Structure 1
Amino acid sequence: MKQGNYLGTTIGGRWWRRDRAKGYFARGNGHLTLDAHGLRFKRLLLEDEVVIPWGAMRGASLVTAHAGQWILGRPVLKIDWRRDGRALASGFYLGRDRAAMRRFADDLNRRIGQA
């Protein structure tokens, strides 16, 4: 489990088009976990989780901004995925250490390739 921040989910690669589906619109602090089903981010004080199934994920990368949020050049984990034929991208800030974030993104890409 990693503590971090959910920055939002965008549609079609456009930072101003945010997904408004239940659980995906509200940004916030919380905890990211990986399980047999995929990635889960449970925000503090909210019931809805952000859930991205392994089979829906297309790739993980590091960026410096996501969904209109810039975090002073720190690494943001971006997960590209699909739901109902739509190309989505969810962003998470999990810490300053770029090397650790790169290893985490690489591990996610290995898992995505196996799903």
Structure 2
Amino acid sequence: MNSEDNKEIPRLAGGYIGTEIDEKWWRRYKENGFFMRGNGEGELTEDGLSFRRYLTKDPLIIPYKNITGITFGKWHAGKWLAGKPVLKLHWTAEGDARKLCAGFYFKLSENQLQRLVETIKKKANI
């Protein structure tokens, strides 16, 4: 992220809820560390959204080039967050035809969350 984006979007503290396969909450994507849910911190890098769960070494990375859409919901992958907005990144993994949807929640104001979404859309060309 450039310094201008850093001013608008603070540190992305929050949580990873899981990744659904083909929009079925009971079908969870398990490759490359995407199975385990958890709280952590994310950031927008030059290549994509990076999210590292606490007590883990390697971050989850969703490249911008693989993101196909962004939606919001109140629950994701069988988990309800008491009405808090869930940011859903629709994407595809390299060499995998399945439609994936990763769910995140971030401790951001509504305006900050909208700026985050607009930044991701711009970088992903969607």
- TM-score, normalising length from structure 1? 0.90
1:20 is the counterpart of 2:30: yes
Kindly provide the amino acid, as one letter, of the partner of residue 113 in structure 1. N
Contact 2:50/2:59 (<8 A) preserved: yes
Partner of 1:104: 116
Show structure 1 runs of 4+ deviating over 4 A: none
Partner of 2:53: 43
Contact 1:74/1:98 (<8 A) preserved: no
Aligned-partner Cα distance in 2 for 1:66–1:106: 21
Aligned-partner Cα distance in 1 for 2:118–2:73: 14
Partner of 1:79: 89
SS at match of 2:30: coil
Kindly provide the amino acid, as one letter, of the partner of residue 99 in structure 1. N
List gaps (5 residues or longer) in structure 1: none
Partner of 2:43: 33
Match of 1:63 among 66, 70, 73: 73
1:11 is the counterpart of 2:21: yes
Percent of aligned pairs sharing the same letter: 37
- TM-score, normalising length from structure 2? 0.83
**Cα RMSD, aligned residues only:** 1.5
Contact 1:66/1:76 (<8 A) preserved: yes
Partner of 2:63: 53
Aligned-partner Cα distance in 2 for 1:38–1:21: 18
List gaps (5 residues or longer) in structure 2: 1-10
Question: Could you tell me how far 1:96 is from its partner in structure 2?
Answer: 6.0
Aligned-partner Cα distance in 1 for 2:86–2:36: 17
Higher helix share: 2
Aligned-partner Cα distance in 2 for 1:35–1:100: 17
SS at match of 2:31: coil
Higher strand share: 1
